[in-house]
Amino acid sequence: MKHRHHLLLGLMLALAAGTATAGEFVALRMRVTANGHELLSARRFQAPEGTSQGWNTHSDHPLAWQMLDGRGQVLSQGTVGDPRVLRGPLEPGGGHAIVVRPTAEYFLRVPVDARATDLQLQPLARVSAAQGSRPKALQAQGEGAGLPPQRLDLRGVMRGPQ
Amino acid sequence: MLPNSVPWLRALLRACAACLFAALAACGGGGGGTSTEAVTPVATPTAPAASAAVPPASAASAATASLQVDWPPVPFDVSPDYPFDIRLYAIGGDGKETWAVKCSAHISCAVEEGPKLVVTSRAEAQPVEAAITLTVTDGQGNKGSKTVPITAWPKSLKVTSLLGAPDRPGIHLLILNDGFLPGDMGLFRDAADGVLKELFDRPEIAIHRDAWNVHVAELVLLDDVTGQAKASTLGARLGCYGTLSPIICFEEGRVKRAALAYLPHYSSIVLIVNSTTVGGSGGSGVAAITRQPKSAEVAVHELGHAFAGLADEYINQGNTPPYQEFNSPNLTLKTDRNEIPWRHWIAPDTPLPTPVNALTMAPNFVGLFEGGGYVSNGIYRPTYDSFMGASSKLLGPVNAEAWALSVYAKGGAWRRVAPAVTTTLARSEQPAGGWLFEAQPLLGRAIAETRWYVDGVERTDQRGAGQLLLPATGAVQVRVDLVDLTGLVRLDQGVVSTLKWTVP
């Protein structure tokens, strides 16, 4: 890839190393393609007490994430919907149409934790094949098979520039 | 975009573009009349890392004839919080490139060593569609230039709370718009009100209304030069999967970036598109609808999925039952009364599976109805019909319970808790007057009530209290349950949240 986006450097500066405080989070802007997940940028923010519970999304097609420390211990975890899946409106007698896109951008919101080293993303299923009785999916061209688990380095985001 | 199968045509056009640019540059132009930034030539460093990443400059004589700025084919946004920073690459240069940049009024930009482009937003109040013109010149004087659009997001955006406030605990629903010009904002507000009405006209949802915060942001993308509103801010459109398809597509990253910039702790997003056609889409935390009044039902159905974790109850495919139990509160494969997830709603004399007749088709009659999750047999739903089967229907008791539990689980239980429940309380740090435990419910006492327990025994005199003061006690375990009093929650005797403290 010819382009190497150096957004993260600026973002690390913006995020600046600091101690985790209650209600402090990082929004991770992510992209998923057939090749896996990519961290595009990050942004730190404060959230009112308890609101983070609302970010876990139930879904037929979940994407589970865990934030791990250097020993592989889970520091926090959550679930969002498979960002590739777009659901059409419920039509009388017709149900939803499901579109599985080859690439999608999404956000994860994780608590600031200086102990965090990795973001682990669980495999995304191949939506049409694994969901035998789900609505007929409109497979978007280029959609990959189920993606393997993946780990992304979070140290720069959590600790700022070394 | 030209097809790759006609490279000669591309080369010819590139050459023409280079000639045109050269002519403009000779006239003192070179990028249009809207630029405000000074041109800042910066030499390309010869550091190995940089040159290794640049495409090889072999066959320089051929390559320099088509010197190009290599800009990735993805849209770029720039937030006011931090500079946007992107490495610059040229195709076809001789390795001795210098760069210059011009940018429009609502962004500031510069080329710094790397070389990299650093951009910061200057937009105020509304996003602006701005442009950057990059020019690369190699050691032989060949030039390449590219103008790229970029959206500059403002430092602040007017977010109006229709319910609650942005800094209040609870659930935060953010309603965004697309395709509404400034003069259309009344239509947008009407549509947003329609979503609220559809949501809170349902009594099972309205009873917990105080746990909700609902905000609208009136987005308009302005043209950098004219200041006029553009037709679309978030790229929403119908017909993206077929002319007749009611699916709404939109630039998802841009929608969420807008949400994160102005309400980063949002729980769910509803995007209202300025169209009178019925349409919508869901998934990934955004429910997109049109302003057609019936579309508001789509938003509530989508919140049924995303907010309450409910599965579709309709039948539209075959009869092959799924091979594993659903992870949703409103579908099951179980037929044994003791294993049905909603057994606490089923009367002892209700036959299982439940036959369809005039009695059992009543909206609030709970049983075990065959069919759901898209297939006709082997799977069961709790009511004959509900809003997860057809958007216009009622929630039904089981779905209403799931919705109510989600209200509490997703931020609607407590507005203040102290000490933090994750803290280990050291006996040596006990205050002189004793331990003061505080758990203030977000909702009023008519809706939810506290029950305090000390070492497992309820302090009935403290029922409904927001605090419990314990004088010196030594080791103690304190628990507070929050009990929903609306009758919507039967699971766990209505206990919707529990906090525990331990003094070892």
ipTM attached to this prediction: 0.74
Higher pLDDT: A2 or A11? It is: A2
Crossing angle for the helix pair B185-200 and B295-306, nearest 10 degrees? 60
- Quote the pLDDT of residue B9: 36
Average pLDDT value for residue range B204-219? 95
Side-chain-side CA neighbours of residue B67 (13 Å) = 27
Q: Which of B2-6, B135-139, B188-192, B339-343 has the lowest mean pLDDT?
A: B2-6
Q: Which of A31-40, B334-343, B436-445 has the lowest mean pLDDT?
A: A31-40
Q: Are A121 and A32 in contact (CB under 8 A)?
A: no
Residue B494 pLDDT grade (very low, low, confident, very high; cuts 50, 70, 90): very high
Q: Are B187 and B229 in contact (CB under 8 A)?
A: no
Using the beta-carbon criterion (under 8 Å), do A49 and B416 form an inter-chain contact? yes
Using the beta-carbon criterion (under 8 Å), do B260 and A45 form an inter-chain contact? yes
Which residues sit opposite A26 in a β-bridge? A44, A110
Give the three-state DSSP class for B148: strand
Which residues sit opposite B374 in a β-bridge? B315
Q: Which residue has the tokens 């539209």?
A: B316
Give the three-state DSSP class for B349: coil
Average pLDDT value for residue range B227-237? 89
For chain B, give the percent of residues with pLDDT over 70.
Answer: 83
A 49-68 residues with CB below 8 A of B? 49-60
Higher pLDDT: B370 or B411? It is: B370
Side-chain-side CA neighbours of residue A45 (13 Å) = 23
CB-count exposure of residue B362 (10 Å: 0-12, 13-18, 19+): exposed
- Quote the pLDDT of residue A130: 31
- Quote the pLDDT of residue A16: 31
Work out the number of other CB atoms within 10 angstroms of the CB of residue B3. Answer: 8
- Residue B186 belongs to what H/E stretch? helix B185-200
B19: pLDDT strictly greater than 80: no
- Quote the pLDDT of residue B53: 29
- Quote the pLDDT of residue B252: 81
Using the beta-carbon criterion (under 8 Å), do B279 and A49 form an inter-chain contact? no
- Quote the pLDDT of residue B49: 27
- Quote the pLDDT of residue B31: 31
Using the beta-carbon criterion (under 8 Å), do A2 and B55 form an inter-chain contact? yes
Q: Which residue, among B128, B136, B133, B129, has the nearest Cα to B147 in the 3D structure?
A: B133
Higher pLDDT: B285 or B407? It is: B407
Give the three-state DSSP class for B147: strand
- Quote the pLDDT of residue A127: 52
Which residues sit opposite A42 in a β-bridge? A28
Strands (E), B158-285: 159-163, 171-178, 212-217, 222-223, 237-238, 248-249, 268-273, 280-281
Which residues sit opposite B352 in a β-bridge? none
Give the three-state DSSP class for B216: strand
Q: Which residues of B touch A58 (CB under 8 A)?
A: 305-306, 308-310, 327-328
Q: What gap in Å lies between CA B410 and CA B172, rounded to an integer?
A: 10
CA distances from A100 to A61, A112, A141, B19, B503 (A): 11, 32, 9, 44, 51
A96: pLDDT strictly greater than 90: no
Give the three-state DSSP class for A135: coil
Q: Which residue, among B168, B189, B403, has the nearest Cα to B265 in the 3D structure?
A: B168
- Quote the pLDDT of residue B48: 27
Phi, psi of B265 (to 5 degrees): -95, 20
Contacts of A69 (CB under 8 A, 6+ apart): A75, A115, A116, A117
Q: Which of B138-147, B224-233, B365-374 has the lowest mean pLDDT?
A: B224-233
In this structure, what is the dihedral angle of CA atoms B288, B294, B300, B305, given to the nearest 10 degrees? -70
- Quote the pLDDT of residue B147: 93
- Quote the pLDDT of residue B125: 85
Q: Are B334 and B381 in contact (CB under 8 A)?
A: no
Q: How far is CA B356 from the centre of its chain?
A: 40
- Residue A11 belongs to what H/E stretch? helix A7-15
B453: pLDDT strictly greater than 90: yes
Q: What gap in Å lies between CA B429 and CA B443, rounded to an integer?
A: 31
Q: Which residue, among B299, B179, B343, has the nearest Cα to B250 in the 3D structure?
A: B179
Higher pLDDT: A32 or B2? It is: A32
A 67-96 residues with CB below 8 A of B? 80-83, 85-96
Q: What gap in Å lies between CA A97 and CA B239, rounded to an integer?
A: 13
Show the CA angle centred on residue B109, arms to residues A107 and A10, nearest 5°.
Answer: 40
B386: pLDDT strictly greater than 70: yes
Highest mean pLDDT among A2-11, B35-44, B215-224: B215-224
- Quote the pLDDT of residue B326: 72
Average pLDDT value for residue range B125-154? 91
Q: Which amino acid type is present at position A31?
A: R
Out of B374, B413, B415, closest to residue A95 by CB = B374
Out of B116, B281, B327, closest to residue A87 by CB = B281
Q: What gap in Å lies between CA B43 and CA B25, rounded to an integer?
A: 19
Phi, psi of A38 (to 5 degrees): -135, 135
Higher pLDDT: B66 or B211? It is: B211
- H-assigned helices in B249-396: 252-262, 295-306
- Quote the pLDDT of residue B136: 95
- Quote the pLDDT of residue B81: 65
Average pLDDT value for residue range B351-376? 94
CB-count exposure of residue A91 (10 Å: 0-12, 13-18, 19+): middle
Residue B323 pLDDT grade (very low, low, confident, very high; cuts 50, 70, 90): low
B352: pLDDT strictly greater than 90: yes
- A4-21 confidence digits (pLDDT tens): 333 333 333 333 322 333
Using the beta-carbon criterion (under 8 Å), do B116 and A11 form an inter-chain contact? no
Higher pLDDT: B58 or B501? It is: B501
Mean pLDDT of chain B: 83
Using the beta-carbon criterion (under 8 Å), do A97 and B416 form an inter-chain contact? no
Residue B474 pLDDT grade (very low, low, confident, very high; cuts 50, 70, 90): confident
Q: Which of A108-112, B131-135, B472-476 has the lowest mean pLDDT?
A: B472-476
- A97-125 confidence digits (pLDDT tens): 888 888 888 889 999 998 999 999 987 76
Higher pLDDT: B209 or B307? It is: B209
Side-chain-side CA neighbours of residue B452 (13 Å) = 22
- Quote the pLDDT of residue A125: 62
- Quote the pLDDT of residue B60: 36
CB-count exposure of residue B6 (10 Å: 0-12, 13-18, 19+): exposed
Mean pLDDT of chain A: 71
